[in-house]
Amino acid sequence: MSTDAVALCEWESAGPDRWPSLAGRRLVPQGPAARLAKALTDSGRLEVLELAQGLELRATSWVGRVTLDGLTITIRPKIPELPLLNLMRYAYGPRYNPQQRRDPVPRPDFVVRRRQQILAILDAKYRDLWVLALPREMLYQLAIYALTQPSDGACATILYPTLADAARDQLVAFHGILGGPTKARAILRPVHLLVLDGLLRAGSGLEAERQRQAMVSRLISRKEPSSP
């Protein structure tokens, strides 16, 4: 059988109506490919359906490559600028995941993009980090999000609520275990609730809209906090 290829992004689908390589294709009954297809479907990684017209593929959040009876299927991440997210998935592939567990996938609350360029990765926390210390698990989460960025802009931001007028940005720098240059940064950024409430109540005038846009621009900015 000749080798064909299908390439999809996460959550995309492909069927025999649009992919000639899927039209009329059958998996050998009870063969290795049929068993692997069933395992992929049952685990929720990749749904493989055998239709009268051929095969239909329905991708999920799983990213990887698999071959079924001469058909190579590649699932790519929807956001190519986040290569490290792939490392958080089981890198050994479906045949080496004996428990058939779902892939752990980091999911930041907000990813701000301009076309395919990532402008900011933001995570909202309901903990006043001006008053209370940053918990270790939040620090680890920030590090993963920040390190998914290109080296020249490796940064992630936590947005947290506060009533403290003095609250301002705090910066966490990530270095290697033995020191060295900064590999990534995390910004702890306060959202002043009284200011936010005032802007939301300000109505729909041009000045109110300008102030709201200015606040949004500040919240997604990667600019390092200035010294007091």
The predicted-structure confidence for 133-184, as pLDDT tens digits, reads as follows 998 888 888 888 888 776 666 888 999 999 999 999 999 888 877 777 888 8
Low-confidence ranges of the chain (pLDDT < 70): 1-3, 78-106, 150-153, 224-228
The residues spanned by each domain of the chain are 4-96, 110-220
- Distance (Å, whole) CA 84 – CA 12: 21
- Distance (Å, whole) CA 166 – CA 104: 38
Q: Is 30 exposed, middle or buried (0-12, 13-18, 19+ CB in 10 A)?
A: exposed
* pLDDT, position 167: 94
* pLDDT, position 158: 92
* pLDDT, position 81: 44
Task: For residue 135, give the 3-state DSSP assignment.
Answer: coil
* pLDDT, position 130: 95
